[in-house]
Amino acid sequence: MNEEQRKQQQTAVKSPDKKSVKDYSKYFDTTYVPPSLKEAKKRGKEEVAYQENFQISEQYRGLGTGKKFYIRTYGCQMNEHDTEVMAGIFTALGFEHTDSVDDANVILLNTCAIRENAENKVFGELGHFKALKRERPDLLLGVCGCMSQEESVVSKILKTYQHVDMIFGTHNIHRLPEILDNAYKSKEMVVEVWSKEGDVIENLPRKRKGNIKAWVNIMYGCDKFCTYCIVPYTRGKERSRRPEDIIQEVRHLAAQGYKEVTLLGQNVNAYGKDFKDMEYGLGHLMDELRKIDIPRIRFTTSHPRDFDDHLIDVLAKGGNLLDHIHLPVQSGSSECLKIMARKYTREHYLELVRKIKEAIPNASLTTDIIVGFPNETDEQFEETISLYKEVGFDSAYTFIYSPREGTPAAKMKDNVPMNVKKQRLQRLNALVNETSAQKMKEYDGKIVNVLVEGESKNNPDVLAGYTEKNKLVNFKGPKTSIGQIVKVKITETKTWSLNGEMIEEEIGVE
């Protein structure tokens, strides 16, 4: 997108006389182009633009002197990581971070659009902030993240939440300095949402949460267009970061003493598919990363369709590549999967699981499941239950299908009543809990490697950390072990966590 096109997509919407305006048409006859789902579906074939060296213009430095920012994050790991980038930009602008809205000068809601309840939470929160804005008119209130990419949301904010000062999308978080500057200068509602997919921008500042585990984006966007899902519209087309940039970032994290890296993407198995100049996929990338001196490397989220044999071979090499794979299945019924446009069948999924277990015998698998997809029959739901048992997942995130405006599934007639959907969710959750508890029991008396993250949330005398398979372990041990990988003997198992005692010597490992 060139500068002129960009400007066309951006506007500072004139602030209405907030008390008297009832005619909202003035919002819509400006040059503002709302994010369009139709447009998003017309995936451009044009090449991804790489901006190698993001810089904050000198004119904005000092914008935040004496001011504090607060960001509330609602979404997935990618959303959380975007928050880290925005926190990095705020810090570079001279702002200080605060954990409390009470002393914040800028409040940002980094939103998620995946299900209706995620959105409702944000609208509720925006309502609450109205009083705060009235008390402190100098406070800047912004909405960003995936909801901002939806035209219906932008319209609703323009109409109903006029105390919001700025709305910007997922493709332009790097323009935060300009957006803030605009919002301060004009005191008008600044709307900058690009419906075109973003570029890949390198050298963004990041203020990471903690110094033990780090997220690293390897790609952005999603081209899968599962019929229920809003993400391809809110995050744009698939575009991969160049391997050299990722490798450099991971090396840098290793040098800074980070112990674990999670590679992020909506569908990490599609990594590299957009490279025009080389055949390079996630397997190649992992093969390079495993040589870096960092103890743990994870990745999320995998899509079964693109999970290739090369990746399995590389993961089987082990070392710092952990043997826990999150592999969302969504449904155990091939018919449902077809209508969801997942583009694999139950059999294909089971075959993939077989291959993974053959190559990596200790691999643990977790998944995501949607129940109550339009017209899901009892039999189809039973297939999900039987698949769950057959695979032997360690755990799962389970959801009731939530229609998202603009997605194909939202237009489907649905004959499954809500109480049936709820019953299915309960039954599935009972199975998920039961299997998780069983899997945890297998750890009784075993010794596991735990990356110690800090004091337990509920008890400062207890430390908490995660095993290689991402199981939460609470144990007694010295505070000096925080940030280290230690051996813990499991003494008690629960449904979602393990309790244990740190041991000094090695007596055999997980």
Annotated binding site for [4Fe-4S] cluster: 76, 112, 146, 222, 226, 229
CA–CA separation, 494 and 262 (whole Å): 26
Give the strand pairing for 463-466 and 472-476.
antiparallel
Amino acid at 5: Q
- Stretch binding ligand F3S (CB under 6 A), from 2-10, 184-192, 231-239, 287-295: 231-239
Is residue 399 at the binding interface for ligand SAH, with CB under 6 A as the rule? Answer: yes
Is residue 114 at the binding interface for ligand F3S, with CB under 6 A as the rule? Answer: yes
Q: Angle at which helices 151-160 and 116-135 pack, to 10 degrees?
A: 30
Q: Which of 163, 171, 196, 235 binds ligand F3S (CB under 6 A)?
A: 235
Q: Angle at which helices 77-92 and 176-186 pack, to 10 degrees?
A: 60
Q: Taking CB within 5 to 8 Å according to partner kind, which of ligand SF4, ligand F3S, ligand SAH, none is near residue 225?
A: ligand SF4
Q: How many CB atoms lie within 10 A of CB 279?
A: 8
Cβ-defined contacts of 246-249 (< 8 Å, 24+): 246/216, 246/218, 246/285, 246/289, 247/285, 247/288, 247/289, 247/292, 249/216
- Stretch binding ligand SAH (CB under 6 A), from 213-221, 240-248, 375-383, 398-406: 398-406
Residue number, 73 or 384, with CB nearest to ligand F3S: 73
CA–CA separation, 346 and 334 (whole Å): 5
Q: Taking CB within 5 to 8 Å according to partner kind, which of ligand F3S, ligand SAH, ligand SF4, none is near residue 368?
A: ligand SAH
Q: What is the SS3 string spanning 392-432?
A: CCCEEEEEECCCCCCCHHHHCCCCCCHHHHHHHHHHHHHHH
Q: Name the residue number minimizing CB distance to ligand F3S.
A: 75
Residue number, 267 or 333, with CB nearest to ligand SF4: 267
Q: What is the SS3 string spanning 265-300?
A: CCCHHHCCCCCCCCCCCHHHHHHHHCCCCCCEEEEE
Is residue 226 at the binding interface for ligand SF4, with CB under 6 A as the rule? Answer: yes
Q: Tell me, what DSSP letter sits at residue 318?
A: -
Closest Cα to residue 508, out of 485, 487, 477?
Answer: 487
Q: Is 30 left (phi over 0), alpha (psi -120 to 50) or beta?
A: beta
H helices present in 161-271, as ranges = 176-186, 231-235, 243-255
Identify the bridge partners of residue 497 per DSSP, sorted by sequence position: 472
Residue number, 217 or 330, with CB nearest to ligand SAH: 330
Tokens found for residue 50:
């790489």
CA–CA separation, 144 and 73 (whole Å): 10
Rounded to the nearest whole angstrom, what is the least distance from the CB of residue 113 to ligand F3S in the complex? 4
Is residue 326 at the binding interface for ligand SF4, with CB under 6 A as the rule? Answer: no
Q: Which of 158, 166, 229, 391 binds ligand SF4 (CB under 6 A)?
A: 229
Rounded to the nearest whole angstrom, what is the least distance from the CB of residue 230 to ligand SAH in the complex? 7
Q: Taking CB within 5 to 8 Å according to partner kind, which of ligand F3S, ligand SAH, ligand SF4, none is near residue 399?
A: ligand SAH
Rounded to the nearest whole angstrom, what is the least distance from the CB of residue 75 to ligand SAH in the complex? 9
Q: Which of 93, 231, 261, 448 binds ligand F3S (CB under 6 A)?
A: 231
Is residue 229 at the binding interface for ligand F3S, with CB under 6 A as the rule? Answer: no
Q: Which of 163, 206, 224, 469 binds ligand SF4 (CB under 6 A)?
A: 224
| Residue-wise DSSP of 19-60 | TT---THHHHSSS-----HHHHHS---SPPPEE------GGG
Rounded to the nearest whole angstrom, what is the least distance from the CB of residue 368 to ligand SF4 in the complex? 8
What's the CA angle centered on 149, arms 329 and 24, to 5 degrees? 140
Residue number, 71 or 222, with CB nearest to ligand SF4: 222
Residue number, 214 or 268, with CB nearest to ligand SF4: 268
Is residue 375 at the binding interface for ligand SAH, with CB under 6 A as the rule? Answer: no
Residues 266-305 that bind ligand SAH (CB under 6 A): 266-267, 301, 303
CA–CA separation, 432 and 19 (whole Å): 52
Is residue 300 at the binding interface for ligand F3S, with CB under 6 A as the rule? Answer: no
Is residue 231 at the binding interface for ligand SF4, with CB under 6 A as the rule? Answer: yes
Rounded to the nearest whole angstrom, what is the least distance from the CB of residue 432 to ligand SAH in the complex? 13
Q: Which of 146, 200, 212, 250 binds ligand F3S (CB under 6 A)?
A: 146
CA–CA separation, 408 and 229 (whole Å): 9
Rounded to the nearest whole angstrom, what is the least distance from the CB of residue 401 to ligand SAH in the complex? 5
Q: Taking CB within 5 to 8 Å according to partner kind, which of ligand SAH, ligand SF4, ligand F3S, none is near residue 232?
A: ligand SF4
Is residue 254 at the binding interface for ligand SAH, with CB under 6 A as the rule? Answer: no
Rounded to the nearest whole angstrom, what is the least distance from the CB of residue 153 to ligand F3S in the complex? 11
CA–CA separation, 180 and 175 (whole Å): 9
Interface residue list for ligand SAH (CB under 6 A): 114-115, 228-229, 231, 266-267, 301, 303, 328, 330, 368, 370, 399, 401-402, 404
Interface residue list for ligand SF4 (CB under 6 A): 222, 224-226, 229, 231-232, 266-267, 303
Interface residue list for ligand F3S (CB under 6 A): 75-76, 78-79, 112-114, 145-146, 230-231, 234-235
